[in-house]
Chain A
């Protein structure tokens, strides 16, 4: 028994009692089947393809007969005509309806022959949207990333050990170049940000302290805030955006240009040659930038306090001296050292983990900056909690 559904009888189809038409076409039936009459101009800038439902209407009207074309009234045409005709051909194939392209302009028929008759390949399925799958994938990705970062840190520490024995592939000139880039070249922006932060802290302090006639303690507030917290934090945030992003973009660009493949092919260790100088430079420069940032931040507070809040220069200097303990400077130095290492590792890792396209370079830089800034703030919170627990 053949249990396939019987083909729809031809006489049950809707006859084209009324002419079927759409933008730039009409259809009529004759003994051979349906003739699609193409009229006017078919230019992509005006429209592309058929209106929704028009293909189905033509095919329904055609039934089991063939489709052919009449292009005598066709004006100018471009790819939009090909889109319409190829969609119609595709739909006709699905219903086993004969398709005759001979009535099309010769050039259009030849181009149509170039267009693959196979159904377009479905876009590769993207990651499942199921929540459990996404969470699971995120955990796996995070695990892989953690392993990669750990490996990078481990390799870098080992390279440091090798460097101390003077047997590392790192070039001194590269280290000096990275130090200049992460140090002297960063001074202008570090200056601007810390001077302004120092001034802002002075203003904020003035709002409350004036109510108690304790204006002079603005110097204490500025000094402690800058040395203990703000200089290290703000400098790290600036350096994450400036240098961490640059590391990621540079390494990702090298990856895309096969420059890293060229290093590997020769046998130059990537960790020694690319990563180590950057991590050493930023880790070494950050404490210096912190000290500089603290100094200029206090100077910013000093300028605001003296010129706008009527505090004498001598009082400000004396109060500042009294308020800042060496332990707080050491605390800031330790933090800035950790921030520098974090920013450099995140920047290098983002670059090395990037893809090879131009868009991947941008993503790597963005990733480095975002993770760097969030990481610095989170690490600062950990330092604050530890300091509080230790009553420091």
Chain B
């Protein structure tokens, strides 16, 4: 459970971000507490993944700040940002495994790059991380030979390679069958409890959100800002915002134009 009384692990204040001068979201502020599982929620195209890219250093915000501990991430010099970034583990939506390496090499690369460990130790650590996420695969297995769920697990193992303090997950259970998604939810909980890692996950998978997330923020496409904060379970029961209620109860909002009207914006 989140430690509400302690200083936040991560504080986002007045953040605005977007691509090519455009604004995807603005005035986004929230705290992520240590060892919590924090959800970034919202409809397709609202900017959830873009917010994550801003938080992990891939996209500079146009306004606002992101503090890790007492340090302003984007105000820090690039070398320092890189150092801070090594405290993160990131799992991209597609897995983003390096396709020219084996699954084991994918997990080993961060350790090879940033530690002085010998080859045998790195291999042992990589096999350990793979077995932690429930994979027992041949050392020569290439990413292309794995299923979507297995690739997602390898990506989590890779994100855990440097024992991160914060684990970012972009749509971890998207496209998985319900059993695989449930296993992944349980794995995230185990990792949080076992490693004491803070998890920030982008998701609109309601069962996962209700099952594992302690806290969260809801981004709105229309107003381009956060319209609700709190645990998804609590928001489901108490939110009076029509969009949030509709999202949490998988309903169409009252002013919905109809089933044929779709949002073509991409995240």
Are the chains A and B members of one assembly? yes
Chain A 155-174 interface 0/1 with B at a Cβ cutoff of 8 Å (1 = within): 00000000000000101000
Q: How far is the CA of A309 from the CA of B107 in the complex (A)?
A: 62
| Beta-carbon contact of B86 and A113 below 8 Å | no
Q: Which of A233-278 contact B (CB under 8 A)?
A: 250, 253-254, 257-259, 261-268
B88 surroundings in chain A (CB, below 8 A): 265
Q: Which of A169, A253, A268 has the most CB of B within 10 A?
A: A268
In-complex Cβ contact of B96 among A171, A258, A268 (8 A): A258
Interface check B94, CB cutoff 8 A: yes
B residues 82-112 with Cβ under 8 Å of A?
82-83, 85-86, 88, 90, 92-94, 96-100, 109-110, 112
Q: Residue A116 at the B interface, CB < 8 A?
A: yes
Are B113 and A268 in contact, CB atoms less than 8 angstroms apart?
yes
Q: Does A1 contact B (CB under 8 A)?
A: no
Interface pair A262/B92, CB less than 8 Å apart = yes
Task: Check: A131 CB closer than 8 A to any chain B CB.
Answer: no
- Asked if B56 contacts A258 (CB within 8 A), the reply is no
State whether A114 touches B258 (Cβ < 8 A).
yes
Residue B259 CB within 8 A of the other chain: yes
Chain B residues, CB < 8 A from A259: 96-99
Pick the residue among A115, A250, A263, A265 that contacts B56 (CB under 8 A). Answer: A265
* Chain B interface residue count, Cβ-Cβ cutoff 8 angstroms: 30
Q: How far does the Cβ of B76 sit from chain A's closest Cβ, in whole Å? A: 13
Q: B223-267 interface mask toward A, CB cutoff 8 Å, 1 = contact, 0 = none?
A: 000000000000000000000000000000000011111000000
Do the beta carbons of A267 and B86 come within 8 Å of each other? yes
In the complex, whether B196 has a CB less than 8 A from a CB of chain A is no
Interface string of A109-149 (1 = CB under 8 A from B): 00001111000000000000000000000000000000000
B98 touches A262 (CB 8 A): yes
Specify which of B83, B94, B162 is in contact with A258 (CB 8 Å cutoff): B94
* B57 on interface, CB distance cutoff 8 Å: yes
In the assembled complex, the CB of A20 is this many whole angstroms from the nearest CB of chain B, namely 30
User: Which residues in A have some Cβ–Cβ distance to B below 8 Å?
Assistant: 113-116, 169, 171, 250, 253-254, 257-259, 261-268
Besides A262-B158, A268-B109, A268-B110, 20 other CB < 8 A contacts? A114-B258, A114-B259, A114-B260, A116-B261, A169-B113, A171-B112, A250-B100, A254-B98, A257-B94, A258-B93, A258-B94, A259-B98, A259-B99, A264-B57, A264-B58, A265-B57, A265-B85, A266-B110, A266-B162, A267-B114
